[in-house]
């Protein structure tokens, strides 16, 4: 099929091409977010073994997740400015190639310092890919399908938690944690090839300065919505990097860890897609209330169960599904709220939300690393308290009318 380039300012739906450039194109972009998501969260699959080989504590090894997320949050607006005029397909393919090279560096790192440097480089590549993939998907569909398109692209991240993270755990157990980074390098090459062949050409945007890009924060609604992204992501990621020691404490053994990681991922996939569907029908606020309530219940129940191990595998699986579903139900609804608050600046608000997501992950893993020095169970309590704070913030701000 011959691809017709999209001219500047032209939405694919204007030419009746939703079936070609809309949700189907979003599925192609999800291949890349699957790789980015696998890379971003893979350390949780082998953190104890990586820490042991590099000669650091588990709490210190968790800082690799913190610094990855923090680098992403800081670099995403800067990279967006530097790459504003680059054609979208070229930018996305180049970002995946750079991500593959960064993971090759992680696989070869012989010290914790070199590992951190490679993870920061990987964060820069991820910051170039994810916001542009989301913005491209939103531009290629009708407004009433926007949440579903965003859910498809974000679905690559949830699929990473469902299949990429358990696969990484299996590979690291069968071979080594370094082999997992090599696997991600190969996946980057495959995703770059698929996107280069299948994605329609889309022009870059106009050149903008960092100050112009951040001007979207002048929207009162945007300033009100973004802190919730940070709070919600901090809540679910306070314990996430330390999932393996948490599961060891809950189950009393490690035979079911891969299955539990799969349960979390399946819950994440279900939560993401149900969020996209429900947001289009019930509205984002209703979806978010349900997500934060479920997250509080799941994390609090895990923290209580920690005191009386071992937990029955079926009960542990249900809690992992609830944790995953509530974590990944946030993003489609939040992005929908942000785009609705500034519809003429979709790319900017999606990029800001992406930075807020990783800022929240950075805060959450930093809190988790600190609490791990005392007790792995403490990370679950902190996650539960942060999810309650997110719910309270949503209830206080969602119904407040915006000033003209």
pLDDT for residue 253: 66
Q: What is the pLDDT of residues 321-361, one digit of tens each?
A: 999 999 988 888 888 888 887 777 776 787 788 888 888 98
Contacts of 310 (CB under 8 A, 6+ apart): 250, 251, 252, 253
Token pair for residue 267?
């819950």
- Range in 206-220, 358-372, 388-402 with the lowest mean pLDDT: 206-220
Average pLDDT estimate for 21-45: 78
Q: What is the pLDDT of residues 269-291, one digit of tens each?
A: 888 888 888 888 888 899 999 99
DSSP notation for 240-287? GGGHHHHHHHHHSSSTTHHHHHHHHHHHHHHHHHHHHHHHHHH-HHHH
pLDDT for residue 65: 85
Say whether pLDDT at 12 is over 80. no
Token pair for residue 3?
């691809």
Say whether pLDDT at 18 is over 60. no
Average pLDDT estimate for 62-85: 84
pLDDT for residue 336: 85
Say whether pLDDT at 4 is over 50. no
pTM of the model: 0.78
pLDDT for residue 331: 85
Average pLDDT estimate for 170-196: 88
Q: What is the pLDDT of residues 232-283, one digit of tens each?
A: 999 988 888 788 888 888 887 666 788 888 888 888 888 888 888 888 888 8
d(Cα 32, Cα 329) in Å, to the nearest integer? 20
Distances (CA, A) of 164 to 31, 160, 219: 12, 4, 37
Q: Which helix (H) or strand (E) element contains residue 73?
A: helix 58-82
Say whether pLDDT at 223 is over 90. no
Q: What is the pLDDT of residues 95-106, one digit of tens each?
A: 999 999 999 999
Q: How confident is the model at residue 124 (pLDDT cuts 50, 70, 90)?
A: very high
Among 397, 347, 331, which residue's Cα sits nearest to residue 147? 331
Q: Which of 22-36, 121-135, 335-349, 380-394 has the highest mean pLDDT?
A: 380-394
Cβ atoms of 305 and 333 within 8 Å: the answer is no
């Amino acid at each position: 099929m011959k691809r017709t380039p999209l001219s500047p300012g032209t939405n694919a739906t204007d030419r009746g091409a939703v079936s070609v450039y809309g949700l189907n194109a979003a599925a192609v972009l999800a291949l890349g977010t699957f790789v980015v998501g696998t890379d971003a969260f893979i350390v949780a699959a082998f953190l104890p073994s990586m820490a042991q080989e590099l000669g650091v504590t588990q709490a210190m090894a968790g800082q690799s997740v913190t610094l990855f997320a923090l680098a992403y949050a800081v670099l995403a607006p800067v990279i967006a400015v530097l790459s504003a005029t680059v054609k979208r397909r070229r930018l996305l393919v180049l970002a995946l190639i750079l991500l593959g090279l960064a993971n090759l560096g992680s696989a070869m790192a012989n010290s914790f310092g070199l590992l951190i440097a490679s993870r920061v480089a990987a964060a820069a590549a991820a910051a170039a890919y994810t916001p542009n993939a989301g913005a491209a998907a939103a531009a290629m569909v009708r407004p009433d399908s926007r949440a579903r398109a965003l859910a498809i692209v974000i679905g690559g991240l949830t699929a990473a938690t469902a299949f990429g993270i358990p696969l990484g755990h299996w590979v690291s157990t069968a071979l080594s944690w370094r082999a997992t980074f090599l696997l991600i390098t190969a996946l980057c090459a495959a995703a770059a090839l698929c996107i280069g062949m299948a994605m329609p050409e889309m022009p870059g945007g106009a050149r903008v300065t960092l100050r112009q890009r951040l001007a979207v924060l002048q929207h009162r609604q945007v300033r009100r919505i973004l802190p919730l992204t940070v709070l919600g992501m901090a809540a679910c990621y306070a314990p996430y990097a330390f999932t393996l020691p948490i599961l060891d404490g809950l189950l009393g053994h490690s035979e079911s860890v891969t299955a539990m990681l799969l349960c979390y991922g399946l819950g994440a996939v279900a939560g993401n897609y149900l969020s996209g569907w429900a947001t289009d029908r019930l509205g984002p606020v209703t979806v978010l209330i349900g997500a934060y309530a479920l997250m509080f219940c799941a994390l609090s129940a895990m923290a209580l169960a920690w005191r009386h191990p071992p937990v029955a595998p079926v009960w542990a699986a249900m809690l992992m599904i609830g944790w995953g579903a509530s974590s990944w139900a946030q993003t489609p609804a939040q992005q929908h709220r942000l785009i609705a608050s500034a519809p003429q600046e979709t790319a900017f608000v999606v990029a800001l939300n992406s930075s807020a997501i990783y800022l929240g992950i950075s805060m959450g893993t930093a809190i988790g690393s600190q609490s791990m020095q005392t007790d792995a169970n403490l990370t679950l309590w902190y996650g539960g308290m942060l999810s309650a704070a997110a719910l309270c913030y949503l209830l206080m701000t969602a119904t407040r009318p915006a000033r003209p």
